Amino acid sequence: MLGEANCIQCLGDIDEAEGEIEPARGRWREALALYAKISRPYSIGSAHFRLARHASTPEEAAEHREAARQAWESIDRPDLIEQFLGKEA
């Protein structure tokens, strides 16, 4: 399941690179659901970060950033929080 989720997330990245944001968001949400099933906090944070970058509203972006922060905190990865969310996170 991890490999499948990783592939789906990468397809979302390809969609993003081609300017296809809505399909990318759909793929990232799909990958996120798989990561949640197998409890992969590193990848959960990564998917939330991607979704935050292209959120529909500032509130949605904040929710995804907070979810990413919580996922990375759960595995004691302050380096990821600082790198992707900034020191204020």
Q: What is the pLDDT of residues 64-76, one digit of tens each?
A: 999 999 999 999 9
pLDDT value, residue 88: 56
3-state DSSP helix/strand/coil % of the chain, to nearest 5: 80, 0, 20
User: Are 34 and 8 a contacting pair, CB within 8 Å?
Assistant: yes
d(CA 89, CA 82): 7
The overall average pLDDT reported for the chain is 96
Average pLDDT over residues 60-87: 96
Average pLDDT over residues 7-30: 98
pLDDT value, residue 5: 98
User: Are 32 and 47 a contacting pair, CB within 8 Å?
Assistant: yes
First to last CA, the chain: 30
d(CA 21, CA 19): 6
